Amino acid sequence: MKRKAAKANKDPESEKDPHLRESLNDVRFAVFAILLRFLFSSYLYDWARERVELVTPVFSYEQLLDDLEMKKDGLPLYTFPHFHNAPMMMWIYSSVSYFGKHSVLAFSCLLDVSVAWLLKWTADAVKSKKEGEAAGCGRWLFRTYLFNPITIASCAICSLSTLYNFLAALSAYLFFSGCLMGYVVVLGIWTSWTVYPAILFNILFVLDLPKRQLGIYLGVGLAVVTAISSVHFWSQGSLEFLDSSYFYMLTFKDITPNVGLYWYFFVQVFDHFREFYVLTFMTFYWFVPVPLTMSIRGDPHLLFWLFLLLSSVFFPSPTLNTATVVFSLWPIFLKRYGEYWRYTLLIVATIVTCVTLMPVMWHMWMVSSSGNANFYFGVTLTYNIAMIYMVIDGTFVYFRDQTNDYFKDWKSRHMGFAYAFH
């Protein structure tokens, strides 16, 4: 009887235990993940910072360090062809690096752990709106992002892609939780750095917002971009930063090998065709969101994910880490449209295979000379095609779900029995 009474007295506490236990486990995983990043930085930093899959001119911390040293010497940074960072990045990392390299690594770890928690909260926000839809996703997203080898390596070398992921995850959380004012502010800051996330403003048009409120949100986003650009101009005293930071990305001037689509093409194309193809690619990137916005009006969350995926695929100087937030959010929609996805296994297997083969093909091309650039570009092209298949399949599952609902209701009304469109 005493045992039963004691058990009854513990019941209220036991109800709280699962939540407390989960929070403590999350903290333990976060601490262990930070430790892994410091260990990786201590023993494999020199190897990882040479990997073109993890480092590009836009996200290179080593390049940023050189730029900071040049700035201390009073040199005009934006007159040099290798400088591509926005002034905003200079301000952030010059402040963080004041206390040395370890402070920058600690800052990167803080950003990376914050991304993992933001992804978890994003999944929880979806679950709270549609009960049971994303059950179990948050915990899975949190842990897989923390222990993803790509995120560990990128954080260990202090890649600027960790800040890119933080802005992506923060904008996702704010949008999924319904905080649209915070969403447009973060999106304005993000756009002021890399331009390409500007297509995410299109999602506001599919929301059921009054015209005045829509205008306010768009005006705030534009005001943030304008304010940051004005501060850039005021601090630099000229508009030279526009060509080095923004037009550099919009005109595909970077032809160093990376995991993107464009570098190999612009190495091979004749110079007198370059302007034509630049205009073609730019028109394609900024036009594709228009039909998607008009078509996928019933699921803004899916539309956000597709736009985020498009910006990762068509970014001119990407790393493997810039797509990790997109991959982390995928399980939310795998649960929502689980029965309609067609190429999940094929896409996952292709991406894992390509990521594994990239260092091998690079070694064959640049070290052993047993291959050529086609070997490496073939793997990166296949990797990007797999992500394009994600866009295609993501669009398909939405239309399949809409078609299934329509035919199920139509058949029930006209034929008198339940019908599932498969």
pTM of the model: 0.89
Mean pLDDT of 41-47: 92
Using alpha carbons, select from 181, 188, 358 the residue that is nearest to residue 259: 358
Using alpha carbons, select from 155, 86, 85 the residue that is nearest to residue 114: 155
pLDDT in tens, 219-254: 999 999 999 988 888 877 677 778 777 888 888 877
Using alpha carbons, select from 304, 302, 390, 406 the residue that is nearest to residue 351: 390
Between 132 and 281, where is the model more confident?
281
- State which amino acid sits at residue 355: V
pLDDT for residue 39: 95
Mean pLDDT of 307-320: 92
Q: How confident is residue 17, by pLDDT bands cut at 50, 70 and 90?
A: low
Question: Does 128 score more than 70 pLDDT?
Answer: no
Q: How confident is residue 14, by pLDDT bands cut at 50, 70 and 90?
A: very low
pLDDT for residue 34: 96
| φ/ψ (deg, to 5) at 72 | -65, -30
In the chain, the N- to C-terminal Cα span, in Å, equals: 57
pLDDT for residue 253: 79
| φ/ψ (deg, to 5) at 12 | -60, -40
pLDDT for residue 80: 67
Q: How confident is residue 81, by pLDDT bands cut at 50, 70 and 90?
A: low
Q: How far apart are CA 355 and CA 359, in angstroms?
A: 8
Distance of CA 244 to the CA centre of its chain: 23
Question: Does 67 score more than 90 pLDDT?
Answer: no
Cα Dmax for the chain: 91
Question: Does 418 score more than 80 pLDDT?
Answer: no
Residue 297 near residue 312, CB atoms below 8 Å: no
Residue 67 near residue 77, CB atoms below 8 Å: yes
